[in-house]
Amino acid sequence: MAITVTPKPGASTGNSPKNIGIVIEGVEVITGLGDIARAFSVLLGLTYMLNLDYLRQLKYTFEVFQKLFLELDDSKLSNKVQSLKSKLQA
């Protein structure tokens, strides 16, 4: 599961337009997302919709976005995320 950023075909290096897409299990599933924020939102939505497991290294990052910021399934928080939520509300 990854967000890819590659130069658009025919573009020179530097600040050239980028093609931003999402790869899941080695298959590019969507491209042309425009920016990283949109790509992350779409990746989070795809993960939630397809009921995929989060990457182990990013488990808590995705959980914070899903459960704290988007308030999706926010009744079941891990201990680490519950601790962060308490600190943010203090």
Same-domain pairing of 44 and 60: no
E strands along the chain, which residues?
2-7, 18-24, 27-30
Range(s) of the domain holding residue 83: 54-90
Q: How far is CA 48 from CA 41, 43, 66, 70, 87, in A?
A: 11, 9, 8, 11, 26
Same-domain pairing of 89 and 48: no
Same-domain pairing of 7 and 41: yes
Same-domain pairing of 8 and 42: yes
| Amino acid identity for residue 19 in this structure | N
What are the tens digits of pLDDT across the range 25-82? 889 999 999 888 899 889 888 887 887 777 788 888 888 888 888 887 778 889 999 9
Same-domain pairing of 11 and 45: yes
Q: What is the pLDDT of residue 30?
A: 93
Number of domains in the chain: 2
CB under 8 A, 24+ apart: contacts of 20-26: 22/46, 24/50, 24/52, 25/1
